[in-house]
Amino acid sequence: MSLSTPRSIFGVHSVAPYSRSTGMFYGIMKILDGSNLNLQAEQVDLQGGSNKYPWASEDGYSSGELSLKVGQLDDFVFELFLGKAPTATTSETSGNVSTAVNKYGSSMIAATGVLTPTVIPTTGAANLKFGKYVIKALSSTSFGIYMSSDIDHSRGTDESYDSDILLVETVTGVATGANSDVASLGLRFTGGASATAFVTGDTATFEVRPVNSKSSVAVIGAAADVFPEFGAIVMAQKRSGDELFELDIYRCKASGMPISFEAKAWNKPEVKAKLLYDSAKDGLFGFRATVI
């Protein structure tokens, strides 16, 4: 008789994590350099006397780990590996200017200072530039605007740095209830209800997002964050003979994910999840294989 064709795995197609409680998928990872399932078991040896080799050996503890090298950072990846589901929006047609907060001193965002900045009506949204902003009092009625990066300076009206400490614009003559528009940034600063009296050196901060089709925001590392257990469907690449091979890993738990910024290189962190015993399934994972 002839032998059947041996089963082999070639490549990786996707990994789809899913909720253990509802079965719903978090999403799908398709930009993968690899997906490795590593199962290890200890052997507990009986040794003694002058014999160099064990008299006997029995099985000790076993462990399993799923390792993924992934080139995408969708929101669900942060939830599973860093313990926080980002707040996502589908679009911001007028951009977004966060609420400004006083950072040093208390005179910037105040009745005797300015209100939290807003977008200049009609024309401002097109000039909003991504970044973190600092406003700093230069006198009792003036302040400087500083930006964290020049990466978005060319959006709308061009902007540029005026100093090595990242000053981009200076606003003077701030007055009670009056608008001070910075057209190149799309921002409006309105004087408070009382006579303007900045304390020189005081600062406040806020963030800006330009008009966008979607955005995500998260604070990672909160004390109350939890890392959810999840299942995962790992799919090998379909072979030319129309062979399919799938792993269903029933119960995983992960914690931690590196994020790299390297010159002219894609971020492809290696993330790891520990496999846990699933008492309902009485196992770690199952597999399905077909030849069409």
Within-domain flag for 5: no
Within-domain flag for 6: no
Q: Do residues 203 and 266 share a domain?
A: no
Residues of the domain holding 158: 96-217
Q: Do residues 181 and 286 share a domain?
A: no
- Are the C-beta atoms of residues 143 and 135 closer than 8 Å to each other? yes
Expressed in angstroms, the distance from the first to the final Cα of the chain is: 22
Query: Which amino acid, one-letter code, is at 145?
Result: I
Residues with Cβ within 8 Å of 282's Cβ and at least 6 positions away in sequence, in order, are: none
Within-domain flag for 250: yes
Q: What is the DSSP letter of 127?
A: G
Distances (CA, A) of 8 to 76, 140, 235, 288: 31, 74, 13, 13
Q: Do residues 22 and 114 share a domain?
A: no
Record the tokens describing residue 165, joined without a space.
């400490």
Within-domain flag for 1: no
Number of domains in the chain: 2
Record the tokens describing residue 42, joined without a space.
């200890």
Q: Do residues 226 and 213 share a domain?
A: no
> How does the average pLDDT of the chain come out, rounded?
96
pLDDT given at position 242: 86
- Are the C-beta atoms of residues 281 and 82 closer than 8 Å to each other? no
pLDDT given at position 94: 96
**Per residue in 207-228, pLDDT tens?**
999 999 999 999 999 999 999 9
Q: Do residues 40 and 100 share a domain?
A: no
**Per residue in 125-150, pLDDT tens?**
999 999 999 999 999 999 999 999 99
Q: Evaluate if pTM is beyond 0.85.
A: yes
Within-domain flag for 91: no
Query: Which amino acid, one-letter code, is at 60?
Result: G
The number of residues in the chain equals 292
**Alpha helices, DSSP H only, in the chain?**
75-82
Q: Do residues 67 and 179 share a domain?
A: no
